[in-house]
Amino acid sequence: MSGNKAKKLFLIRHAQATSAADDKSRPLSPKGKDDALKAGIFLKDKGYIPDQIFCSPAKRTQETLEQLNKALNVQALQFPEILYSGATGDYLDLLQNCDDTISNIMIIGHNPSIYGLASDLVGGGADSAIQRLSEGYPPASMSIIECSCENWADIQLRKNTLIDFANPLDFNAPSGPSKWM
Share the mean pLDDT of the chain.
92
Give the pLDDT of residue 45: 96
Give the pLDDT of residue 3: 43
- Nearest-angstrom CA–CA distance, 59 and 57: 6
Tell me the three state secondary structure of residue 13: strand
- Best CA proximity match to 161, nearest among 148, 150, 179, 171: 148
- Nearest-angstrom CA–CA distance, 108 and 11: 6
- Nearest-angstrom CA–CA distance, 130 and 65: 25
Q: What percent of the chain has pLDDT over 90?
A: 86
Spatial contact of 164 and 143, defined as CB atoms under 8 Å apart: yes
Model pLDDT for residues 80-91, shown as the tens digit of each residue: 999 999 999 999
Residue 138: cis peptide before it, omega within 30 degrees of 0: no
- What's the pTM value of the predicted model, to 2 decimals? 0.93
Give the pLDDT of residue 59: 97
Tell me the three state secondary structure of residue 112: coil
Model pLDDT for residues 68-77, shown as the tens digit of each residue: 999 999 999 9
Give the pLDDT of residue 21: 85
Class of the domain covering 11-17+25-171: alpha beta
Spatial contact of 105 and 91, defined as CB atoms under 8 Å apart: no
Give the pLDDT of residue 173: 74
Which whole number is the average pLDDT over 13-26? Answer: 94
- Nearest-angstrom CA–CA distance, 166 and 32: 15
First to last CA, the chain: 47
Model pLDDT for residues 140-179, shown as the tens digit of each residue: 999 999 998 999 999 999 999 999 999 998 888 766 665 5
